[in-house]
Amino acid sequence: MKHILTSLDGTPASRLAFGTMQFGGRADRSASQEMFDASLAAGITHFDTAHLYTDGASETYLGEMIKPHRERLIIATKAAYAGGATADNIRASAETSRKRMDVDVIDALYLHRFDPNTDMHESFEALAQLRNDGIIRAVGISNFAAWQAVKAANIAAKFDLSISFIQPMYSAVKRQAEVEIMPMAKDMGMLCVPYSPLGGGLLTGKYANGGGGRLTEDKNYKARYRFDHMHEAAQTLGQIAAREGVHAATLAVAWAAAHETAPTPIISARSAEQLAPSLAAMEYTISPELYAELATLVPTPPLATDRAEEQ
């Protein structure tokens, strides 16, 4: 059964989550507030941040904004991207995040990435203790392979701890998560909360029009989305969106959310204006026919057993 986290007052998680990675970086305090307010108005109750983001400004800004609404919101953050997933680092990271956001409890704490150098028994015993102490309510993992996630779940269970969430990268041009991560998450009851449903902005169409952003400014994003077939897919998605009378970003987010495992994509932006088309996906229903058409933009990744020809 899939883990369903509600807020402190019982408010359910929204269909989409809002990620605050840009808070204090590409989005200043005013722009960040405008995006937060727009997200609330659209019905977002699930907000995602990380200890690492913008040297702590992301958590600090978010903590200031949630004060009047804390009881009805779900706040997730991530620990141990740097410094390893040791017990001491996890505890220190969680406490720093809690102080930055000025909250008594963190609703969901993710391990930000897999650490091959720390025994997961140490990591999940520390997370279980944070849960037992009332510091966190639920645990997630981010950037884990499926085998790592299954191993983590089995170890966590030794400490009476469940892994409630997993965050992979997922979009219409980055579909590797469909092979093992999303089926695994469904089978093991983890809610999949994928990031980058717009492909780093590629699927908004702005780069085809000569616009700038992370794909031109960040070498990692530029390398990640450098392939011609991705840019061709983005161009076709834009044409389909125009035909359907909907913004390309709305269509891309709606497609990611419509996967049969019912994931909760994380949307983000630099400004409220840029965010609006992604928020519109909260109310947009993609038809099965349109979903299937968009699924042809890039090849469907083969099954993990590599016997797709028999299907």
Contact in structure between 221 and 200 (CB atoms under 8 Å): yes
Q: Which residue has the higher pLDDT, 30 or 212?
A: 30
pLDDT at 13: 95
Over pLDDT 90: what percentage of the chain? 86
Give this prediction's pTM. Answer: 0.94
Bridge partners of 27, per DSSP, are 23
Bridge partners of 171, per DSSP, are 174
CA distances from 67 to 60, 105, 110, 173, 265 (A): 11, 13, 22, 37, 24
pLDDT at residue 27 is higher than 60: yes
Q: What does pLDDT average to over the chain?
A: 94
Nearest 5°: the CA angle 50, 109, 116 is 85
pLDDT at 1: 55
pLDDT at 2: 66
Contact in structure between 171 and 183 (CB atoms under 8 Å): no
What value does the mean pLDDT take over residues 250-260?
98
Model confidence over 238-251: pLDDT tens digits? 999 999 999 999 99
Domains of the chain, start order: 1-167 (3.20.20.100)
Number of Cβ atoms within 10 Å of the Cβ of 159: 15
pLDDT at 302: 85
Contact in structure between 77 and 106 (CB atoms under 8 Å): yes
pLDDT at residue 206 is higher than 90: no
Number of Cβ atoms within 10 Å of the Cβ of 4: 10
Contact in structure between 102 and 63 (CB atoms under 8 Å): yes
Contact in structure between 252 and 199 (CB atoms under 8 Å): yes
pLDDT at 311: 55
- Hey, is 266 helix, strand or coil? strand
What's 115-179 look like in SS3? Answer: CCCCCHHHHHHHHHHHHHCCCEEEEEEECCCHHHHHHHHHHHHCCCCCEEEEECECECCECHHHC
